[in-house]
Amino acid sequence: MTEKPAGELAGKITTHALDTSIGRPAAGLLVRLSARSGDGSSVLLKEDRTNADGRLEEPIYAGDLTESGEYELEFEAGRYFRDRLGTERPLFDTISVRFRPADARGHYHIPLLLAPGGYSTYRGS
Protein backbone atom coordinates (compact mmCIF):
# COMPACT_ATOMS: atom_id res chain seq x y z
CA MET A 1 0.00 0.00 0.00
CA THR A 2 1.39 3.39 -0.94
CA GLU A 3 1.33 6.37 1.39
CA LYS A 4 -1.04 9.20 0.54
CA PRO A 5 0.35 12.75 0.54
CA ALA A 6 -0.46 14.82 3.62
CA GLY A 7 -3.94 16.32 3.40
CA GLU A 8 -5.21 13.81 0.82
CA LEU A 9 -8.24 11.77 1.81
CA ALA A 10 -7.84 8.07 2.43
CA GLY A 11 -10.01 5.89 0.19
CA LYS A 12 -12.64 7.26 -2.14
CA ILE A 13 -15.30 6.20 -4.58
CA THR A 14 -16.14 8.32 -7.61
CA THR A 15 -18.25 7.81 -10.71
CA HIS A 16 -19.46 9.44 -13.87
CA ALA A 17 -22.08 8.48 -16.43
CA LEU A 18 -22.18 8.85 -20.20
CA ASP A 19 -25.29 8.36 -22.33
CA THR A 20 -23.80 6.58 -25.35
CA SER A 21 -27.08 6.84 -27.28
CA ILE A 22 -26.52 10.59 -27.66
CA GLY A 23 -22.76 10.73 -27.12
CA ARG A 24 -23.11 13.07 -24.15
CA PRO A 25 -22.87 13.04 -20.36
CA ALA A 26 -25.90 11.60 -18.55
CA ALA A 27 -26.89 14.76 -16.66
CA GLY A 28 -29.36 14.48 -13.79
CA LEU A 29 -28.88 10.74 -13.22
CA LEU A 30 -29.62 9.73 -9.62
CA VAL A 31 -26.79 7.67 -8.08
CA ARG A 32 -26.84 5.90 -4.70
CA LEU A 33 -24.00 4.24 -2.80
CA SER A 34 -24.68 1.59 -0.17
CA ALA A 35 -22.44 -0.55 2.01
CA ARG A 36 -23.54 -4.18 2.06
CA SER A 37 -22.98 -6.63 4.88
CA GLY A 38 -22.52 -10.39 4.83
CA ASP A 39 -26.16 -11.01 5.77
CA GLY A 40 -27.38 -9.21 2.64
CA SER A 41 -28.53 -6.05 4.35
CA SER A 42 -27.30 -2.67 3.19
CA VAL A 43 -26.89 0.85 4.53
CA LEU A 44 -27.31 3.86 2.27
CA LEU A 45 -24.17 5.99 2.50
CA LYS A 46 -25.06 8.75 0.06
CA GLU A 47 -27.14 9.67 -2.95
CA ASP A 48 -26.53 12.44 -5.45
CA ARG A 49 -27.30 13.49 -9.03
CA THR A 50 -24.83 13.85 -11.86
CA ASN A 51 -24.12 17.37 -13.08
CA ALA A 52 -24.10 18.62 -16.70
CA ASP A 53 -20.76 16.86 -17.20
CA GLY A 54 -22.21 13.51 -16.00
CA ARG A 55 -20.14 13.69 -12.80
CA LEU A 56 -20.89 14.18 -9.14
CA GLU A 57 -19.63 17.42 -7.63
CA GLU A 58 -17.64 15.47 -5.03
CA PRO A 59 -16.74 11.83 -4.38
CA ILE A 60 -19.77 9.75 -3.46
CA TYR A 61 -17.59 8.39 -0.64
CA ALA A 62 -14.37 9.62 0.94
CA GLY A 63 -12.67 7.88 3.85
CA ASP A 64 -11.26 4.47 4.64
CA LEU A 65 -13.06 1.70 2.80
CA THR A 66 -13.85 -1.65 4.35
CA GLU A 67 -11.59 -4.08 2.50
CA SER A 68 -13.68 -7.07 3.50
CA GLY A 69 -16.93 -5.31 2.67
CA GLU A 70 -18.99 -4.95 -0.44
CA TYR A 71 -20.26 -1.68 -1.89
CA GLU A 72 -23.08 -1.12 -4.35
CA LEU A 73 -23.58 1.78 -6.72
CA GLU A 74 -27.13 2.08 -8.03
CA PHE A 75 -27.88 4.19 -11.08
CA GLU A 76 -31.54 5.13 -11.67
CA ALA A 77 -31.44 4.58 -15.44
CA GLY A 78 -35.18 4.04 -15.81
CA ARG A 79 -36.02 7.38 -14.29
CA TYR A 80 -33.29 9.04 -16.37
CA PHE A 81 -34.66 7.63 -19.65
CA ARG A 82 -38.29 8.33 -18.70
CA ASP A 83 -37.35 11.98 -18.06
CA ARG A 84 -35.17 12.30 -21.19
CA LEU A 85 -37.13 10.24 -23.71
CA GLY A 86 -40.58 10.02 -22.21
CA THR A 87 -40.18 6.23 -22.37
CA GLU A 88 -42.81 4.68 -20.15
CA ARG A 89 -41.08 1.33 -19.72
CA PRO A 90 -37.34 1.52 -20.25
CA LEU A 91 -35.58 -1.85 -20.39
CA PHE A 92 -33.31 -1.16 -17.40
CA ASP A 93 -34.74 0.46 -14.30
CA THR A 94 -32.01 0.40 -11.66
CA ILE A 95 -28.50 -0.59 -12.68
CA SER A 96 -26.60 -2.05 -9.72
CA VAL A 97 -22.84 -2.40 -9.64
CA ARG A 98 -21.41 -4.32 -6.67
CA PHE A 99 -17.71 -4.35 -5.93
CA ARG A 100 -15.21 -5.22 -3.19
CA PRO A 101 -12.27 -2.89 -2.58
CA ALA A 102 -8.89 -4.56 -2.30
CA ASP A 103 -7.27 -1.45 -0.80
CA ALA A 104 -8.97 0.50 2.01
CA ARG A 105 -7.10 3.64 0.97
CA GLY A 106 -7.55 3.21 -2.79
CA HIS A 107 -9.47 5.29 -5.30
CA TYR A 108 -12.25 3.35 -6.97
CA HIS A 109 -13.66 5.15 -10.00
CA ILE A 110 -16.65 3.23 -11.37
CA PRO A 111 -18.02 4.88 -14.54
CA LEU A 112 -21.24 3.89 -16.28
CA LEU A 113 -21.85 3.95 -20.03
CA LEU A 114 -25.57 3.64 -20.63
CA ALA A 115 -28.09 3.57 -23.46
CA PRO A 116 -31.77 2.61 -23.60
CA GLY A 117 -30.84 -0.95 -24.59
CA GLY A 118 -27.67 -1.67 -22.64
CA TYR A 119 -24.90 -0.54 -20.33
CA SER A 120 -21.28 -1.15 -19.47
CA THR A 121 -19.03 -0.34 -16.53
CA TYR A 122 -15.38 -0.74 -15.61
CA ARG A 123 -12.81 0.40 -13.06
CA GLY A 124 -11.56 3.74 -14.31
CA SER A 125 -8.72 5.90 -13.11
CATH classification at residue 34:
2.60.40.180
**Which range marks the domain in which residue 60 is found?**
12-121
62 assigned to some structural domain: yes
70 assigned to some structural domain: yes
pLDDT score of 76: 97
pTM for the full model? Answer: 0.87
83 assigned to some structural domain: yes
For 77-124, the pLDDT digits (tens) are: 999 999 887 767 778 899 999 999 988 889 999 999 999 899 999 999
| β-bridge partners, 120 | 113
7 assigned to some structural domain: no
4 assigned to some structural domain: no
Q: Kindly tell me the burial class for residue 119, based on how many C-beta atoms sit within 10 Å of its own C-beta (0-12, 13-18, 19 or more).
A: middle
